[in-house]
Structure 1
Amino acid sequence: MKSIGVVRKVDELGRIVMPIELRRALDISIKDSIEFFVDKDKIVLKKYKPYGVCLITGEITSENREYGNGNITLSPDGAKLLLEELKSALHQAKS
């Protein structure tokens, strides 16, 4: 685990402020959800992504499928967009 050299105090309501540099680096915006995990004596924060959300379109549908050993979830539209982009990239690489 890497320290970023920032220390924050917990206020009377249990809140902490996440540094803007960290939010920018992790693409965390206002109103984004953060998921909490505990690993022994550590608290791990992660930008929350609902299970089954399409990596390309952000859609959650019953038709979404997992690929790459469950590492990538795509909706039918997301799969089509990705396929077209890959075809284009392969075509350009051949040229």
Structure 2
Amino acid sequence: MKSTGMVRKVDELGRITLPIELRRSLDLDVKDPVEIFIDGDQIILKKYKPNMACMATGEVSDDNYSLLGGKLILSREGLEKLLDEIEN
């Protein structure tokens, strides 16, 4: 695990503000969902990505294509964008 050197206090309502540098590096935007895990005495925050979310468009659908053993999920639109990028 890598230390960021950033320390924040918990406020009266139990909130912690994530520094802008951290949010930018993790591509976290306002209202993005964050998944919370506990590992022993550690709290782990991870940007939430629902199953079957297209990696190009973010569209969530059971109709999305699962490729490379589930490592790549693409919607029809995302697949078309990828093919256009490869051709150009």
| 1:92 matched residue in structure 2 | none
| 1:35 matched residue in structure 2 | 35
Note the alpha carbon deviations across 1:52-72, whole angstroms, 9 max, x for none: 111111112231021122111
Give the total of aligned pairs: 88
Give the letter aligned to residue 66 of structure 1: S
Gaps (5+ residues) in structure 1? 89-95
1:11-30 pair list within 5 angstroms: 11-30=11-30
What TM-score comes out, normalization by structure 2 length?
Answer: 0.90
Identity of aligned residues (%): 53
What TM-score comes out, normalization by structure 1 length?
Answer: 0.84
| 1:55 matched residue in structure 2 | 55
Gaps (5+ residues) in structure 2? none
Look up the SS of the partner of 1:80 in the other structure: helix
Q: Distance in 2 between matches of 1:62 and 1:35?
A: 21
Q: Distance in 1 between matches of 2:17 and 2:58?
A: 27
Look up the SS of the partner of 2:70 in the other structure: coil
